[in-house]
Amino acid sequence: MQVIDWQAVVKKHGPVVWSTAYRLLGNHTDAADCFQEAFVCALEVSRRQYVFNFAALLVRLATARAIDRLRRRMRDSNISPETAGCDDVLSDDIEPYQHIQAKELAEGLREALAQLPQQEAQVFCLRYLNNMSYRQIARQLGIKNSTAGVLLHRARTKLRVHLEKAAVT
């Protein structure tokens, strides 16, 4: 039985779990729910098996929960996801139109990620939002390195098509 100091785990890995959820969701309330769900799932996993890498496990769980939440949001509202909070504060470094373009691109990416199959969305997020290697992704998802590469290629292709269609309309 693995003895885990959960306060230390939350303190050490909480910021990366929060940023993973918030980057995907763009909403403080949803990110907070996702944060809690990731730690609850990690607790359940740790009761079933030995956890070698809490950071990778928590990022994977936060990513999966965030994608699930994006799907529910898209299905329930049929509108673009709302973004609130820090993203709404304009920076002095960019022009207002650049801020609007970045916000629209982020909303389009969230919408497109919600339409991808679960594994493809997870692989994309773990690779590009959390900078995990193919090997790390494969280990976390229980797949081969080559499968991670194939899923990533499929995800990028589908995202590119979706975003190009959105740009045309």
Q: Which residue has the higher pLDDT, 68 or 108?
A: 68
- The number of distinct structural domains making up the chain is 1
Span 25-33, average pLDDT = 92
> Could you tell me how far CA 160 lies from the centroid of its own chain?
18
Band of pLDDT at residue 87, cut at 50, 70 and 90? very low
Who's near 85: CB < 8 A, 6+ residues apart?
22, 26, 27, 28
CATH label of the domain that carries residue 128: 1.10.10.10
Domain for residue 164, yes or no?
Answer: yes
Is-contact 107 83, C-beta < 8 A?
yes
- Residue 34 belongs to what domain range? 6-168
Domain for residue 91, yes or no?
Answer: yes
